[in-house]
Structure 1
Amino acid sequence: MAQLNFLLTRMPSPLGPILLLCDAQQRLRALDWQGYEARMQLLMRRQYPRDEVVMQARTPAQGPVAEALTAYFDGELQALDGLALALGGTDFQRQVWAALRGIPAGSTRSYASLAAQIGRPAAVRALGMANGANPISIVLPCHRVIGSNAALTGYAGGLQRKQWLLNHEATHAKKPA
């Protein structure tokens, strides 16, 4: 069993404090909301089942991840696009998470359309589970996935945050000429 050492920082946001988990190379491993640290620890144990994940608290949040998130909340939605990520999880989960990152800011996809997009139209339920196991909220924009009837469906940070993120992106998304 290897020991994985990650740095845990907190940063303010318009939606409350955010927890950031980065490795020594400043790659983002997890992003969640304050009050959800236990969920973050559980997701890390599930993603790295053969390793011991150690989260070392550090303040303040600084570096490329904090800078990109600050820019995102200031309306520069593309600021998250270039962030370096390091993900565990299964091949299927990583496929779903990559598809999430491909949903443009200011738009949404249904679970069914996302399943079809990755070539697994019958895997809607599995896609929902992978979406729910997403360790990097906002950057892997699981908030952009909605129900087939366009209803807001589960979001680990709460539906109010999901609605705020969607409204924020709709307001700041670049509109076609």
Structure 2
Amino acid sequence: MSAQHVGSGEIITWQVGNCYLGSVLVAHSDHGVCAVLPGDSTEGLLADLAGRFPGAQLQHSETSSEDWFSEVMDYLVDSRHTLGVDLDLRGTEFQRRVWQTLRTIPSGSRASYAEVARKVGVPSGSRAVAGACAANHLAVLVPCHRVVRSDGSLSGYRWGESRKRALLNHEQALSDR
């Protein structure tokens, strides 16, 4: 699948659940989980999904216990475990490199934008790393919330700074157990 592929008529199946982040929409394509979107309402989440996958047929799952959905919701509760689903990562080559690097940051840990930029081989690319984080479709599974400013302070987060803080606090509490 090409980085930007969103075929006309592609079927993307979705479900919405609730957790400490609020409502969470999880979507699945033929290639794996393609979106994890926290938000405030199902309507808003569906609009976000439709905007990210124009041309796709969005289909609510008829089965309430899809394995991919349960696996993602369990991972949201405890991200220390290995995720057992395929991911459908859609982005540029650079974005996918950043996202793969983010997935190596352990739960309960943080890295700066500059550290991530160095790891992907673009030492002056902090802003580009921030852009890749903002383009991420897979909240928590691609843990852009673990990326902070060089001084350790929180910066913007696509799904709101309060959710970023909640994620970091939740993961820290798990690490402290």
Q: SS state of the match for residue 77, structure 1?
A: coil
Residue deviations 1:23-60 (CA, integer Å, cap 9, x gap): 246x1001102334433333334xxxxxx222112356
Amino acid at match of 2:86: A
TM-score of the aligned structures, taking structure 2 as reference length: 0.84
Report deviation, 1:80: 5.0
- Distance in structure 2 (CA, Å) of the matches to 1:158 and 1:69: 20
Q: SS state of the match for residue 41, structure 1?
A: helix
**What pairs with 1:44-83 in structure 2 (closer than 5 Å)?**
44-45=53-54, 52-58=55-61, 61-74=64-77, 76-83=78-85
Report deviation, 1:77: 2.1
Report deviation, 1:155: 1.0
Report deviation, 1:66: 2.6
Report deviation, 1:157: 1.4
- Which runs of structure 1 show a deviation greater than 4 angstroms over 4 or more consecutive aligned residues? none
Q: SS state of the match for residue 29, structure 1?
A: strand
Counterpart among 25, 28, 47 of residue 33 in structure 2: 28
Aligned positions, number: 167
Q: SS state of the match for residue 7, structure 1?
A: strand
Aligned to 1:48: none
- Distance in structure 2 (CA, Å) of the matches to 1:128 and 1:83: 26
Counterpart among 6, 14, 18 of residue 20 in structure 2: 14
* Equivalent pair of 1:9/1:59 in contact (CA under 8 Å): no
Report deviation, 1:101: 0.8
Aligned to 1:41: 50
Counterpart among 104, 107, 111 of residue 106 in structure 2: 104
The 1:113/1:171 distance shift into structure 2, 3 A limit, reads: same
Aligned to 1:138: 140
Q: SS state of the match for residue 8, structure 1?
A: strand
Report deviation, 1:15: 1.9
TM-score of the aligned structures, taking structure 1 as reference length: 0.84
RMSD: 2.1
Q: SS state of the match for residue 13, structure 2?
A: strand
* Equivalent pair of 1:103/1:109 in contact (CA under 8 Å): yes
Aligned to 1:129: 131
* Equivalent pair of 2:114/2:126 in contact (CA under 8 Å): yes
Residue deviations 1:92-118 (CA, integer Å, cap 9, x gap): 111111111111000011101000011
Q: What percentage of residue pairs aligned between the two structures are identical?
A: 31
5+ long unaligned stretches in structure 1: 46-51
5+ long unaligned stretches in structure 2: 1-6
- Distance in structure 1 (CA, Å) of the matches to 2:80 and 2:159: 22
Aligned to 1:156: 158
